[in-house]
Amino acid sequence: MAHRGHTNTNTPQRRPRPARRDEDRIAGEAGTAVMRALTLHQPWASAITYAGKDIENRGWTTAYRGPVMIHAGQGRDRTAMAALSDDLPHKDLHGAVIGVALLTGVHQCDGTCSPRWADPGRWHWEMSAPQPLRQPVHPVSGRQRLWIPSTALCAKVRHQLPANIFERWRSS
């Protein structure tokens, strides 16, 4: 970082290293696509994956756009649990990745973007194209922020996704 200002003297075509890692978009080939993961309280993880919850409310924003593993953490929102249908799949499952959704944008508004799911005053993460996993991957520990899943976890999730899903996401 401290040397960043000097990198363009002899290697003008070389990009600063942090920029590449933080590029945060779906990479070229299907086999190399970058994913992130987000830990949510239940039943919100299930609601994004199975119930059409298209807004994730967060107190912070991100520049990342692309596929996000939906990880059901240990937390439970009891009020929401009572309000959502009893047959919402995996809503009692914790410590597992249950699906992948595409994060296409982040904005703030008064909640009119998705009256059922959006909380006014928070960042609205626009989630689309959820892909439930036939077999949730567990145990997986929750982490803060938008985290980078291990290669092993990526492999377990990816082989449950449709073969052309990254192409579809790239063009959406």
Residue ranges binding Zn ion (CB under 5 A): 109, 113, 118, 124
Q: What DSSP assignment string belongs to 81-121?
A: HHHS-TT-TTTT--SEEEEEEEEEEEEE-SSTTSTTTPPTT
- Nearest in space to 105 (alpha carbons), one of 149, 171, 71, 55: 55
Q: How far is the CB of 39 from Zn ion (least distance, A)?
A: 22
Question: What token pair was written down for 6?
Answer: 């000097």
Q: How far is the CB of 12 from Zn ion (least distance, A)?
A: 42
- Nearest in space to 70 (alpha carbons), one of 101, 92, 91: 101
- Residue nearest Zn ion (C-beta atom): 113
Q: How far is the CB of 121 from Zn ion (least distance, A)?
A: 10
Report the residue number, 80 or 113, with the smaller CB distance to Zn ion. Answer: 113
Report the residue number, 93 or 113, with the smaller CB distance to Zn ion. Answer: 113
User: For residues 61 and 30, what is the distance between their CA atoms, to the nearest angstrom?
Assistant: 26
Q: How far is the CB of 35 from Zn ion (least distance, A)?
A: 24
Report the residue number, 31 or 115, with the smaller CB distance to Zn ion. Answer: 115
